[in-house]
Chain A
């Protein structure tokens, strides 16, 4: 956590995590609700959308906006697997390893991605573009095998389709 002795520096860091208008919007919601804590997931999701992950400073900022202690934010943040408390690549890839995807080639998808990206599950490519994460069911059971990249869902995956998607994202990152 941040050194409490350097209070103004801390405020400056935190302010960079969200735009002023985002912070103000949350402060208005906090003022209106009887239970500010109910906004914690919304707030963490917004911090993550803007920064790619939720840092210690992000947790502190959320706590400050909601008027709760950092530990009350942290115990929530660390519970959910789609809140990243460590930096991830620009494109976090969640590969479904639950039963329906498994039954239709999910393991091959996971192996192929690990080979193509030269990383293991849980790792990030050295260029900082991709992180591979196993995930439970994504609700795409009828379109197995499936994965999510960021918030976008991809179903009926084949190895060729997978290569095409990765290539497309590499191109997108260049532009």
Chain B
């Protein structure tokens, strides 16, 4: 059914992990060999820029452009950090990738580090990905033994050492500066930006933080070229393939590698097997818990950064969580907000105090005890929290609340008028 060229899931077999020997059999480490022998670091940055690759961790910033800001000429040490925190509900693509084929990330890390002239790398792995951590431990040991990691890689004179960091929970660690504090062994509250990590990052040194899927794409871009990669997308402004993790009220909740720009309706019907229990599609989170809902009017939309931004949502991590027409969107939003409130690090007031207040209001209305004043207060809170928090966590928490108030306000009013949850 899936006719998309498979790059990231090329070697994926359910329940199995591909290690060094099998990875090499399907062209593994050829991109690294080619790059180290024939390409300069700047050439790699240019190819990545031309490929149109945008960060797969959710923000969607051009990877090549981000790299071009990195002070590659600054003295060492300089760090490349891979973010595998992946704790936003609905997002599990990086876990699937590392469960299947961990060497892709290692090859991507060495290539990216070469492009940035970074000499030390860290892969930050969330607590729940214990199997993935063990897969990476084995992959690192194999790559070291084969000379793809360590000193003078493939005789190129390029050195790169790679560390693995197994974390111990908390969503905030996915915020890049909190993650850096976590790696340093400090209490992982986010840091003030600027200075940005490219200037003062890990241990005060220049650092780039990229997502797992972003980095795993680099070997494929080097092998196939920028044009080829760009043309993999279905929409003109898009680039590449994307891992879509399906969840919620679908018949099939799996992870697929599909073209960027695939329409939402096609994803749901052809890959998700349609909405479960023969029910109708009501709404979805298109890219993780922080992305505002899409509804049935968006089924034709191309799933990519720009088209989704135009309708007031975000592509995020392309973890698509679907809700059927029996769902109470107020109750769903309450669940999402409870997640953000509990995961707040407590550093700033809008997040620490604002999110519990939003939860309290939503819960009150859900129970049928809400008033019109509560709805007004909810709207005020959304406006006051947005743009006023120290980091992006509370901003992200406002995504589903914004979606609720914009698309499902009548449902909220129904709760208030009926004095109970209508679902």
Contacts and interface: CB of A to CB of B under 8 A. Distances in A.
A152 B89 CA distance: 19
A41 to B, nearest CB: 6
Contacts of B342: 136
A147 to B, nearest CB: 11
A35 B253 contact: no
Given A98-B335, A151-B130, A137 B185 contact: no
Contacts of B167: 41, 80
A137 B339 contact: yes
A162 B285 CA distance: 29
Contact of A100 (B131, B168, B247): B247
A139 B321 contact: no
Nearest to A153: B128
A139 B128 contact: yes
Interface string A105-117: 0000000000000
A139 B248 contact: no
B87 interface: yes
A75 B187 contact: yes
Interface residues of B, number: 52
A129 interface: no
Nearest to B343: A136
Q: Which of A40, A98, A152 has the most CB of B within 10 A?
A: A98
Contacts of B246: 142
A79 B186 CA distance: 10
A140 B170 contact: no
Task: Identify the interface centre among A66, A142, A144, A151: most chain B CB within 10 Å of its CB.
Answer: A142
Given A42-B166, A76-B187, A100-B248, A141 B321 contact: yes
Contacts of A151: 130
Interface size class of A (residues with CB under 8 A): 35 or more
A39 interface: yes
A37 B184 contact: yes
Contacts of B249: 103-104
Contacts of B126: 139
B87 A136 contact: yes
Given A41-B167, A83-B168, A141-B253, A76 B336 contact: no
A23 B127 CA distance: 23
A102 interface: yes
A82 B285 CA distance: 27
A71 to B, nearest CB: 10
Given A82-B169, A137-B88, A99 B184 contact: no
A37 B89 CA distance: 30
A109 to B, nearest CB: 14
A26 B19 CA distance: 29
A139 B187 CA distance: 23
Central interface residue in B131, B185, B187, B335, by most chain A CB within 10 Å: B185
Given A76-B188, A99-B289, 5 more contacts: A37-B185, A41-B167, A83-B169, A138-B128, A141-B89
